[in-house]
Amino acid sequence: MNIQPAQYHRSTKEWHHLIGEKGRVLLSTKVEVSSPELEDYLPYSYLIVKLNNGKKVELMGESKTDFEIGDSVELELRKAGEVSSSSVIPYCLKAVKLD
């Protein structure tokens, strides 16, 4: 994932306050085919999660994990790639299944 520092700065402002939020899986799909930058994660789950605060978010689930509707999850930080040509290490969010 090649991301410019300014883009990364903006995107983190969108999601940094969601780290640690908990909720439940509303809908889930397992993605088996994707673009090259996401191939290392395949297969991965793409989810709609309803957080306990009522907000809904779309995001990737933890790699190699199966998610079902109703599963309890927590949002964690996820490394989204290696150091890009602009020297940014991209991070974003993932949903992690809670026991």
76/78 Cα distance (integer angstroms): 6
Write down the H helix ranges in the chain: 5-15
- Closest to another protein by CB, 41 or 73: 41
Residue 42 sits at the vertex; the CA angle it makes with 55 and 6, to the nearest 5 degrees, is 55
Scanning residues 11 to 70, which ones bind another protein (CB under 8 A)? 11, 14, 27-39, 41, 44, 46, 48, 56-60, 69
64/41 Cα distance (integer angstroms): 8
- Closest to another protein by CB, 59 or 75: 59
**In whole angstroms, how close is the CB of 11 to another protein at the nearest point?**
6
Enumerate the β-bridge partners of residue 27.
48
- For another protein, the binding residues (CB under 8 A) are 7, 10-11, 14, 27-39, 41, 44, 46, 48, 56-60, 69, 80, 92
